[in-house]
Amino acid sequence: MKLTQALVEDFDAVLEFVHAYYTYDQIAIRPQLADGVRTLLADPQLGRVWFITADAQRIGYVVLTFGYDHEFGGKTGLITDLYISEEFRGAGLGTCAFAEILGLARSFECNIVELVVTPHNSRVPEFYNRMGLSLSDRRTYSVVL
């Protein structure tokens, strides 16, 4: 397993994975989604997208975006998407990808990495606990503008 950074010219392939993930995780596909993916691929200051590859085949993707929080002394990382195609799950590839993403976040000088999880995905808490993450005592509220 390795991560390969997605480039602007990979837009269609990334968007295909995003649609598969959003469908799987029951996330609404909003009209501005494609523009958001295109913008992220074009501006590395915002974050990065990587394909998860195994045997030279793209089997998923991961998104790490950047923010800033004075509480943690600076730059933050947010894993917004981590998706592996169903037929490749359960083989430890997600564990490898997650470990690699944390290393990349450190190399980008992120002081904390957070991630977004939908509550109905029952497999996720166990996986992230094994990765050393703990559930925050905070809740995130949001408003779509």
d(CA 104, CA 125) in angstroms, rounded, equals 22
Q: Are 34 and 15 in contact (CB under 8 A)?
A: yes
- What would the pLDDT profile of 92-105 be if each residue is shown by its tens digit? 999 999 999 999 99
Q: Are 104 and 52 in contact (CB under 8 A)?
A: no
Provide the pLDDT for residue 136: 84
- What would the pLDDT profile of 19-34 be if each residue is shown by its tens digit? 999 999 999 999 999 9
Provide the pLDDT for residue 81: 95
d(CA 102, CA 3) in angstroms, rounded, equals 12
Q: Are 61 and 83 in contact (CB under 8 A)?
A: yes
Tokens representing 68 are: 């800033």
Segments of the chain scoring below 70 in pLDDT:
none
pTM exceeds 0.85: yes
Provide the pLDDT for residue 66: 98
Total Cβ atoms within 10 A of residue 15? 15
Provide the pLDDT for residue 69: 96
